[in-house]
Chains A and B, each alone.
Chain A
Amino acid sequence: MGGGTNLLKLPVIGDFLRWRHSRMFLQSITLVIALAMILHGLFGPDLAPRNLSTLFTWVHYRGILVLILLVAGNFFCMACPFMLPRELARRFTKPVRNWPRWLRNKWLSIGLFVAILFAYEYFDLWGSPWWTAWLIIGYFSAALLVDAFFKKASFCKYVCPIGQFNFISSTVSPFEVKVADPDMCLTCETKDCIKGTRDPNDHDNVIQRGCELALFQPRKTGNMDCTFCMDCVHACPHDNVAVATKVPGSELWEKTRRSGIGRFTNRKDLSVLALIFTFGALLNAFGMVSPVYAFQNWLAGVLHTTSELPVLATLFFLMLVVEPVVLLAAAAFGTSKWTATHEKLLPVVMRYSYALVPFGFGLWLAHYSFHLFTGIWTFVPVVQSVLADLGIPLLGEPMWRLSGMQPGLVYPLELGFLSLGLLGSLLVTYKISFRDYKARPWQAFIPWAILCVVLFCAALWLLNQPMEMRGTFLGG
């Protein structure tokens, strides 16, 4: 494994992660929080800042999620509350169907990811506790339904949009679940990490399941599709699975064939996921600043409409399709021409699409951490209010004036996250160029480096725009 840190070897943290019920423990906590959010969303005040449903979902959860991804890894999937009802249901009925072969890709989850981004803007989800509560209920129901009918972790791997966000983000995380000593796996005959551990007296009885996402540890590379469920850790009879440090982003330039995934460069869906993740970050941030309303008004004039649906759909089409196609085609054309390989543009785009992930993550991080840090204490008065309503007044009257850091203090952090993302993207671009264009690596590198800088400048411009969070449209 080298000289990295293995979380499983650390006191307390290691003991906890090795504990057979660590996941269920975390899931139980998040389940209680989720249930409180649902109840408050459905029955509590309809004012978003005073409702746990909207506050926790759109301020605290998103911010904490990206920060944990930055400093550790995909621990949200480990603690995912949506899986707990499914775990319980599976104790009563085992699914018998395999997930349809034609859906064994990321296209469905990419569509759902875009749909959630669209619904967020169109229905102003941030301002509606009721709709946010139903979104959470919908998530629980979808996870339960999908995994009630289909074997393994079909929902996580092929459906869950949050999961895909976490998977692609965790490629730049510093920890991954991986084999501690690869040589030990050479002599392993049981392959429990993928097949599960069976009862020696009843071979049909799996007493510890293996990886439900089809990631065979000896051939697993990086965090893609890994939910940190620790099933492989518990299943390995040789105690040879670690949660160990890695170079953040290194898996984005590795060309190896990955278990359960294949090669990144052969996966159009993963490539599109990386691009939607990156350009979606720009779109989501654009939706929160003042110029978006001027642009929407202009679009409405061009389209001769006062309806938000066609305007928003056009905005999405421009930012998630037209903009990427133009920019990526230009960069790929530059690489193809200057390296004199005269490759088709699509393979070049697919190769370099992963290089944009660190930048995209940096922007999500800057955006969500802004909301978290500027509103970090806003949960205190809301919780006080809920407890007071339940007859448990805590610390007196709700302290509604509590908020968080001043936006001016958060701005340097945002710049830092964004710059870190740019540096990461430049590094991955450099590595890919020197891997695939040995004769003219710099000629391959420069067009994509320019693209990274252009996207960085666009994000920087966005961060410097006045925020204007409106749910109204065309005339607010």
Chain B
Amino acid sequence: MPFWSFSISGDQFSYYPLAKKSKLLFLLLCFTIAGCQSSVDDHSDVKLNWEIEPDPPSVGMATIDITLRDSTQQLLTGAKVKLEGTMSHPGMKPIQATAEEVEPGHYSAEMEFTMGGDWILLVTSTLPDDRIVERQIKIPGVRSE
């Protein structure tokens, strides 16, 4: 009897053939977690360029400028672009902002970095054709002074 197929019953362990069910449950859990990461497609044909001001950023307000283009380098207009900033360390308060389209295909958002350190911006762009494009922007070393 494999040692992982057990259950607790009464004062002592009792063993019975649950091995198959346990393995199936474990595999199901693994595949579920692995397979359900995100329902958002990669949409690698969509290119995102970004700039930040000031560069390098420091604690306080910063402006993020984002440009969206398709595979033919055409600017993607009319997208809804949301940003969420989170630190590389878990447990920190995230920051959120919605970017405005300041020129066709160019989006701009003001964000306030609340703490020095490494930040990651999650950019979620909903295109006019309802495709959702997610990208991560790493902003290392936001200065605290």
Contacts and interface: CB of A to CB of B under 8 A. Distances in A.
Interface string B91-119: 11110100000000000000000011110
Chain B, interface size: which category?
35 or more
A67 to B, nearest CB: 15
Contact of A43 (B6, B30, B87, B142): B30
A174 interface: no
B140 A39 contact: no
A268 B100 CA distance: 64
A389 B36 contact: yes
Contacts of A59: 90-91
A434 B51 CA distance: 65
Contacts of B11: 20-21
B128 interface: no
A371 B91 contact: yes
Contact of B94 (A39, A401, A468, A476): A401
B90 A468 contact: no
A290 B33 contact: no
A260 interface: no
B118 A476 contact: yes
A39 B30 contact: yes
Contacts of B116: 290, 466-470
A112 to B, nearest CB: 23
A48 B33 CA distance: 16
Nearest to B86: A49
A59 B145 CA distance: 25
Given A51-B90, A59-B91, A476-B118, 19 more contacts: A21-B11, A39-B33, A48-B90, A49-B87, A49-B90, A54-B90, A88-B13, A91-B13, A126-B88, A374-B91, A374-B93, A375-B91, A375-B93, A403-B91, A403-B93, A468-B115, A468-B117, A471-B140, A476-B141
29 contacts: A20-B11, A24-B8, A39-B30, A43-B34, A43-B37, A44-B33, A44-B37, A47-B122, A47-B136, A48-B88, A48-B90, A49-B89, A124-B88, A127-B88, A290-B143, A375-B90, A378-B90, A378-B92, A389-B33, A390-B33, A400-B84, A400-B94, A400-B96, A403-B91, A467-B115, A468-B142, A469-B115, A472-B140, A476-B141
